[in-house]
Amino acid sequence: MQRLIDAFINSVRAFRKLAAHEKAFQQELLLLALALPAGWFISVSWRGYALLIGAVLLLIMVEVLNTGIEAACDAISREFHIEIQLAKDCGSLAVLISIVIAGGIWGIAVIERLTGAPI
């Protein structure tokens, strides 16, 4: 049980640090705050709502992992290394892919709501 408590405390510490200092994380938290009520009106089912919010949470999760990669790379060296650049670029690509996924899910949900027909 202590491991779970320690893990929770570590997670809260990371959340606070990211919320206070990372612009991308702050923007995605704002997006989540907007998505919670918007998804309620856009979705046509509970499953749809869960999918919409899950897509935003996936985006936030990938952003957290990307920030962790960047922090680890910066801790190793601030000098240019092709391998570190690749690691950071891959993290950035993962965020972009999650944005495309979330945007696609939300786009489909909007189209379904506007047309009244599932896609």
3 burial type by CB count under 10 A (0-12 exposed, 13-18 middle, 19+ buried)? exposed
Whether 70 has a binding-site annotation, put simply, is yes
Whether 41 has a binding-site annotation, put simply, is no
Whether 25 has a binding-site annotation, put simply, is yes
Q: What is the largest CA-CA distance in the chain?
A: 54
Name the catalytic one among 63, 102, 106, 109.
Answer: 63
Is 112 among the residues known to form the active site?
no
Q: Are 60 and 25 in contact (CB under 8 A)?
A: yes
HSE-up of residue 19 (Cα within 13 Å, Cβ side): 9
Whether 3 has a binding-site annotation, put simply, is yes
Whether 81 has a binding-site annotation, put simply, is yes
For tokens 């997006």, the residue is: 31
Whether 28 has a binding-site annotation, put simply, is yes
Whether 22 has a binding-site annotation, put simply, is yes
Alpha carbon distance 46, 66 (integer Å): 30
Q: Are 42 and 106 in contact (CB under 8 A)?
A: yes
**Binding site members for ATP:** 3, 22, 70, 79-81, 88-89
Per the annotation, binding residues for substrate are 3, 24-28, 63, 92
What residue numbers does the annotated binding site for a divalent metal cation cover?
22, 70
Which residues are known binding-site members?
3, 22, 24-28, 63, 70, 79-81, 88-89, 92
Give catalytic residue positions: 63
